[in-house]
Amino acid sequence: MAPSFRDLLSEVKKEIREVSHEHVRQLLDSRAPVKLIDVRESDEYAGGRLPGAVHIPRGYLELRIEEQAGRDEEVVLYCAGGTRSALAARTLRELGYTRVSSLAGGYNRWSDAAYPVEKPVVLSSEQKERYRRHLTLPEVGEEGQARLLKSKVLLLGAGGLGSPAALYLAAAGVGTLGIVDADVVDLSNLQRQVLHTLERRGQPKVQSAKAAIEALNPDVKVVPFEERLTTANVERILADFDLVLDGGDNFPTRYLLNDACVLAGKPNIHGSVFRFEGQVTTFLPNNGPCYRCLYPVPPPPELAPSCAEAGVLGVLPGLIGMLQATEALKLLLGVGESLSGRLLTFDALGTRFHELKLRRDPECPVCAPGAKVELIDYERFCSTGG
């Protein structure tokens, strides 16, 4: 006589290891290295999860588990009551996972004990379709996409660098984009500033950018700052954002933004262009050099002409701005290697990238250990050569 499901489940539970909700609570409280895998269906998961749990529906477990856990890592599986997770635990044992267990009683017993739960961000069907190419990437998935939707990025400038960065960050689903720019759209901008159109000539750039971004992705909230960045407003403007993209076109603003980011402990992704050349790097607070380590003193004004004076190849800001956006997405997702400590330069005429090593200046007045950051008169600082 063939065994019943009850007989099969009884045999499975003899083969696997079950752990109590008290034990899992202790693991979480002690911050032990453990991977919690929720094998319930999406509608169940949307109602709540154990803190930090990763969602892999039971039907996809064999396909996706390698993306989330190594075979020698501590893995705890759970479902609603402990049945599906027990069967899943046996499957993972057969796949070579050596430290896998099932949560006895599952999510229901955890919830009944009034232990902490999280309300995960669950993507709508339209969002799943929009971000489908992200969701198939193991490094992003639904968890990463939800993180992007909750992220807040500030762009200094809606010009040559800010335009491509804003468009691609919006397309990627970064939930809030702040844009700082006091200028209006001019006909000469349209050679490189792809956020704007001829019809929006004369409009404030932040409003033109808002219209373009909202037309591209309604998931994105745009926070416009139609003002110049100054020592009086920089701390207020930076306060609510996770990181900053520096698309400024003058040295006083770059030094101001650098010092304010160090003071606030926020990553600063720097980009700049000049004629046929561009450069990009990432400054991480308390970890690597800052802008003043790269440029301890500003160049004389006559050696630092603006794009209006020196010109710039129209496609060049697009390339550098997209590199800045790439750096931002990696930092927000916590994947890959940033450009911190490296300056990437691009020569458009020769179509060549070069990488230079950047080191933290032990005497830097801003980021050296024990340095006291003070926001100063940056126009005067740059006009007098520091």
Phi, psi of 230 (to 5 degrees): -135, 170
Cα angle at 172 between 166 and 177, to 5 degrees? Answer: 40
Instruction: Retrieve residue 92's tokens.
Output: 């993972």
CA distance readout (Å), 173 to 130, 149, 242: 9, 6, 15
Pairwise CA distance, residues 294 & 280, whole Å: 12
In terms of phi and psi (left: phi > 0; alpha: psi -120 to 50; beta: otherwise), the region of 165 is alpha
Q: Identify the bridge partners of residue 100 per DSSP, sorted by sequence position.
A: 75
Query: 25-28 — which CB contacts under 8 Å span 24+ positions?
Result: 25/115, 27/74, 27/76, 28/52
* Assigned token pair, 57: 């529906």
Report residue 218 CA to chain centroid gap. Answer: 19
Residue 383 makes CB contacts below 8 A (sequence gap 6+) with 301
> CA 136 from chain center: how many Å?
17
Per the listing, tokens 């899943």 go with 88
* Beta-strand runs (E) in the chain: 18-19, 34-38, 54-55, 74-78, 100-103, 152-156, 176-180, 221-225, 243-246, 268-274, 277-283, 342-347, 352-357
What is the Cα–Cα distance from 169 to 146, expressed in whole angstroms? Answer: 14
Residue 363 in 3-state DSSP?
A: coil
Distance, CA of 185 to CA of 69 (rounded, Å): 50
- Single out the catalytic residue among 307, 364, 367, 382: 307
Please state, in angstroms and rounded to a whole number, the distance separating the CA atoms of residues 381 and 144.
41
Active site residue 307: yes
Supply the residues annotated as catalytic: 307
